[in-house]
Amino acid sequence: MTSLGSPTATLPESADYVIVGAGIMGLATAWNLARLADGEARPRIVVIDKSYLCGGASGRNGGGVRAQWSSETNVELMKRSIAIAAEFATRMRINVWFRRGGYLFLARTEARAKELEASAALQREHGLPTRVIEPSEARAIVPELDVSRLVCASWNPDDGVVFPWSFVWGYARAAASLGVSIHTHTEVTDLITEGSRVRGVVTPRGSVRAERVLVCAGAWSPEITRMVGVELPSRPHRHEICASEPLKPFLRPLVGDLESGLYFSQSMRGEIVGGISNARVPEGIDHASSMRFLGLYASALLEAMPRLGSVKILRQWAGCYDLTPDGNPLCGEVDEAPGLYLMSGFQGHGFMIAPIMGELFAKHLLFAEERALFERWNLRRYREGRLLHESMILG
Amino acid sequence: MSKIIVCRCEDVTLSELERALALGYRDLESVKRHTAFGTGYCQGKQCVALCAAYLAAHGGAVGEAPFTPRPPTRPVPLAHLAALAREEGEEP
Amino acid sequence: MVARRIERSKPRWVTLRVDGEDVPAAEGEPIAMSLLAAGRVTLGRSVKYHRPRGAACFAGRCDGCLMRVDGVPSVRTCAVPAREGTTLETQNVLGSAKHDLLAAADWFFPGGMNHHEMFTWARPVNEVMQRIAREIAGIGTLPDLDASVGTIEDASPDALVVGAGIAGLEAARTLGEAGLEVLLVDEEDAPGGLLRFVEGEAERARALADAARRAGVDLRSRHAALGLYDEPERGRLALVGGERGLLRVRARATLLATGRTEGAACFEGSDLPGVIGAEAATRLLAHDVLPGERIVLAGDLSTRRAELDALAAALRAAGAEVRGPLPLASVARAEGSASVEWVTLREGEGEREHGVDLLIAAPRTSASYELAVQAGARCELRDGVFEVVEAPRERHTWIAGALAGAASVEDAISSAAGAARAMIEALAARGESTP
């Protein structure tokens, strides 16, 4: 494997692409850039991360992978991302434990029911089997679910969960085998500029000059762009998650409640992994855990599934959502800093959408494809007042 | 059988630690993720020191803290945690 | 395996129901000990390879004694006091704990399975493998019944002391005598820490606990400090778990005296039931259970010689044949079908096999660092174990005793006294006067 933080490995002095962030987004992009380019024209790619692999959101999420979204763009992209996820194990030769147990979104009010119905209809237009079902059918899918205060639920049996870390390792190994150089435990401390043009990065282990610097740093992205005076509208928002003791398999889908942000699913090891929204979080990037989260999560989970009362929680942790005001990401070249490209602001679903976004980003960079998408999601929409919308954000 | 188990809760073998090192994972957090040691029922109470010692002795970079300690220090029933939803001073 | 009871005390006998069979127990003793005394060494199976598992630490810090208790999955039986009619069921086996058909996994993958890469050559076979893996994953099944919400108690003492070993007791007493309101929490059944089991010191610990109580210290046994939190809009809180619920503690100062943990040793067969720690053996003797009659005792002689000598003597006095204390490195392997039956020791140029009931493997202990590190203390690996090398960075938390590196009872007492004095000064300096 590559250097992966070995103190003796040297950083190349120059490359065609420097990718800041070795999470799934950066690594998926790196692999796609390497494999899609023609052999001779294969670009020199360096991926840099200040921590260890899986140290960021890629290593902290619950592994949910769904196509149930309220915007056409997200539905279409996630269909393709799920298809990539389903083939990942055999293509990259690393198990990712992708299980299509479905996603069940609960509606406890008529207003939410209407929203889910609208989203379900949109999803069906795009070929998904999503249906809005009665409480009794929800109960048949999850027998332990208390459906007494349920209006209805949105059900897509083809959504699933994965074991997230293997995606990072799989992409890293595959990228490295194509010559991508990955350096962990290496912090980008500054960007090299010539005028307003970005020309590389500076790290304590040396500088790397490159025509294109890709910021795939998730919640840390604003820190990077700030180095050239570009303020992103995104803000980190701590989201907590916890895991229970391992139980024999009983829970088929991931169950979500958009009202409270509660979500929970059973991992391949049998643990119930889940989280819930918590408005009271510290400013900035924070990975500490709170007692308040435990109370919110436990009471909401037991309301949904009373039988879990004497099931024990083993550990809690946290990661940061990378939130933007309109719930849509920031992608593409930055007008104010040519040579600097963004791929961040994916709220709490950056992980699941990275397989397809890594591919599209690479195609955009190599062949100027996907112009419409990168125009839609470019940072300049904030300047131009073209904000978007997405309502099915969970957690 | 001739396995040497380094983490009982997750059945992690010594050969898996060796393999993680060979793949280039040297720090405790990365090896923990790759092998799953320390992530089982006892959350590392039995195995973290011995895995860290092994890594340190075989080219790993153990660094400072064992690894980020995750609360709770022992398993807690959801029914007990649910009571935390009641704020300090709030009536039940 | 031949464990037996030492007839010293006269307990009240109760009957446990274990997988449908009656098993006698002394009322109130840790059930894992009742099971051992009744000859039940193998209590369950491990998650991946279904290797036999049994209680190893007897202190609520491993996974070996887990059973389904009164319809609740994966309960540490070493932490459950025996009561009349308690029902226990073995989990995660196809057959029994001693003869689990799923142990074929251990045999089928002699070198271990590479779960990252196995069966990744084709999608259909990968999907089948995943389905099987999911089916055999997990340990316990869903509880039989719903559980009612636990109790919550809010406490705001001047000082929270975690750990009622000699250091915690000394500090709590000092703080109490200085007029501070002190909450002392300890996960054990009774205060005194490990000194409860040391002849001559047990009385001293009891006296100190009495003195602490007389000084007004609120001493809660069977209460484990679960975590230290910094809550937005709430400040610093500690979460403590009791038997029926939780304590939410807002203390002005916190002292961590959590002592040390004896982790697992590592050699071929070290995970077999019947391989236990020295601390575990000490606890068993204190409960009048002799854990075996043919014993090999091996451990870190550089740091634990005196303790292991005393343990060997106590085991012999109870009628066991003890080989040791030997250096831990002399253990080549432990073998047995469902529990330890043979230990191979390195002797001179060669090796020799010994028939045993019990192998005591006592590596160096590590500081019980979890809460200290949550409070910002710095830890380092030294001689293969973790030591706290820098006290918590945050202002209101101190450490004392064996956690802070005290190597003797006297060191522990003086470190505790020092910490208590510092806490008293800090609280006074903050302008909050002591009553």
Q: Tens digit of pLDDT per residue, chain C (435 long)? A: 578 898 877 889 999 999 999 999 999 999 999 999 999 999 999 999 999 999 999 999 999 999 999 999 999 999 999 999 999 999 999 889 999 988 888 888 888 888 899 999 999 999 999 998 898 899 999 999 999 999 999 999 999 999 999 999 999 999 999 999 999 999 999 999 999 998 888 999 999 999 999 999 999 999 999 999 988 777 889 999 999 999 999 999 999 999 999 999 999 999 999 999 999 999 999 999 999 999 999 999 999 999 999 999 999 999 999 999 999 999 999 999 999 999 999 999 999 999 999 999 999 999 999 999 999 899 999 999 999 998 887 779 999 999 999 999 999 999 999 999 999 999 998 765 443
Q: What are φ and ψ of residue C300, in 5° steps?
A: -80, 100
Note whether C277 and C362 are within 8 A (CB). Answer: yes
Nearest to C57 by CA among B46, B9, B40, B10: B46
CB nearest C135 (choices: A86, A245, A249): A249
Chain A residues closer than 8 Å to B77 by CB: 309-313
Q: What is the pLDDT of residue C434?
A: 44
Instruction: Give residue for tokens 């710095």.
Output: C378
CB nearest A5 (choices: B27, B68, B77): B27
Chain A residues closer than 8 Å to B80 by CB: 298
As a whole number of Å, the CA-based R_g of chain A is 21
Q: What is the pLDDT of residue A40?
A: 72
C2 touches chain A (CB under 8 A): no
Q: Does an H or E element contain C360, and which?
A: strand C358-362
* Alpha-carbon gap: C223 to the closest alpha carbon of chain B (Å): 11
CA separation for the pair C122, C387 (Å, rounded): 47
Task: Give the pLDDT band of residue A7 (cuts 50, 70, 90).
Answer: low
Q: pLDDT at residue A105 above 70?
A: yes
* Alpha-carbon gap: C371 to the closest alpha carbon of chain A (Å): 13
Please state the separation of Cα C61 from the chain's center in Å.
Answer: 4
CA separation for the pair C279, A195 (Å, rounded): 68
**CB A144 to CB C73 under 8 A?**
no
Chain A CA closest to residue B60 = A6
The 10s digit of each residue's pLDDT in A306-342 is: 999 999 999 999 999 999 999 999 999 999 999 999 9
Q: What is the pLDDT of residue B61?
A: 80
Higher pLDDT, B2 or A6: B2
For chain A, the chains sharing at least 3 beta-carbon pairs closer than 8 angstroms are: B, C
CA separation for the pair A161, A332 (Å, rounded): 28
Note whether A119 and A132 are within 8 A (CB). Answer: no
Task: Give the pLDDT band of residue B76 (cuts 50, 70, 90).
Answer: very high
Q: Which of A238, A307, A310 to mutate to test the interface with C (most CBs of C within 10 A)?
A: A310
For the entire predicted model, the pTM comes to: 0.95
| Whole-complex ipTM | 0.95
Helix locations, C100-223, DSSP H:
104-108, 123-136, 166-177, 202-214
CB nearest C270 (choices: B5, B71, B77): B5
Chain A residues closer than 8 Å to B24 by CB: 1-4, 6
**CB B41 to CB C63 under 8 A?**
yes
CA separation for the pair B25, A4 (Å, rounded): 7
Burial C180-209 (b: 16+ CB within 10 A, else e): bbbbbbbbbeebbbbbbbbeebeebbbebb
Percent above pLDDT 70 for chain A:
98
Q: pLDDT at residue A137 above 60?
A: yes
Percent above pLDDT 90 for chain A:
92
Higher pLDDT, A213 or B27: A213
**Identity of residue C86:** T
Instruction: Give residue for tokens 């190599």.
Output: A366
C130 Cβ neighbours under 8 A, 6+ residues apart? A95, A97, A98, A99, A268
CA separation for the pair A393, A69 (Å, rounded): 8
CA separation for the pair A393, A377 (Å, rounded): 17
C203 Cβ neighbours under 8 A, 6+ residues apart? none
The strand pairing partners of A257, in sequence order, are A106, A262
3-class state of residue A271 by DSSP: strand
CA separation for the pair A303, C178 (Å, rounded): 46
A290 touches chain C (CB under 8 A): yes
3-class state of residue C321 by DSSP: strand
Structure tokens at C373: 């590190």
Please state the separation of Cα A3 from the chain's center in Å.
Answer: 25
**CB B8 to CB C271 under 8 A?**
yes
Angle at which helices A165-177 and A24-36 pack, to 10 degrees? 30
**CB B78 to CB A185 under 8 A?**
no
Chain A residues closer than 8 Å to B61 by CB: 5
Whether the bond between B72 and the residue before it is cis, its omega within 30 degrees of 0, is yes
**CB A290 to CB C232 under 8 A?**
yes
* Alpha-carbon gap: B1 to the closest alpha carbon of chain A (Å): 24
Note whether C423 and C396 are within 8 A (CB). Answer: no
Chain A residues closer than 8 Å to B40 by CB: 246
Sign of torsion over alpha carbons A142, A145, A150, A154 = negative
- Out of A47-61, A128-142, B63-77, least confident range: B63-77
Pairing relationship of beta strands C224-231 and A131-133 according to DSSP bridges: unpaired
Q: What is the pLDDT of residue C435?
A: 39
The 10s digit of each residue's pLDDT in A177-225 is: 999 999 999 999 999 999 999 999 999 999 999 999 999 999 999 999 9
Structure tokens at A347: 């709220």
Instruction: Give residue for tokens 């959101």.
Output: A57
**CB A59 to CB B23 under 8 A?**
no
Nearest to B41 by CA among A329, C302, A271, A59: A271
Cα torsion C359, C69, C154, B68 to 10°: value is: 50
Burial A65-74 (b: 16+ CB within 10 A, else e): bbbbbbbeeb
Chain C residues closer than 8 Å to A169 by CB: 116
**Identity of residue C259:** G
**CB B71 to CB C229 under 8 A?**
yes
The 10s digit of each residue's pLDDT in A144-182 is: 999 999 999 999 999 999 999 999 999 999 999 999 999
**Identity of residue C430:** R
Chain A CA closest to residue C124 = A90
Nearest to C279 by CA among C87, C59, C47, C37: C59
3-class state of residue C292 by DSSP: coil
Q: What is the mean pLDDT of residues A34-43?
A: 86
CB nearest B33 (choices: A59, A294, A309): A59
Q: pLDDT at residue A27 above 50?
A: yes
Note whether C193 and C163 are within 8 A (CB). Answer: yes
Note whether C31 and C81 are within 8 A (CB). Answer: yes
CB nearest C143 (choices: A94, A248, A309): A309
For chain C, the chains sharing at least 3 beta-carbon pairs closer than 8 angstroms are: A, B
Chain B CA closest to residue C258 = B73
Chain C residues closer than 8 Å to B19 by CB: 114
**CB A317 to CB B79 under 8 A?**
no
Nearest to B17 by CA among B29, B2, B32: B32
Interface of A with C in 231-270 (CB under 8 A): 245-250, 268-270
B83 touches chain C (CB under 8 A): yes
Chain A residues closer than 8 Å to B30 by CB: 4, 52-54
B49 touches chain C (CB under 8 A): yes
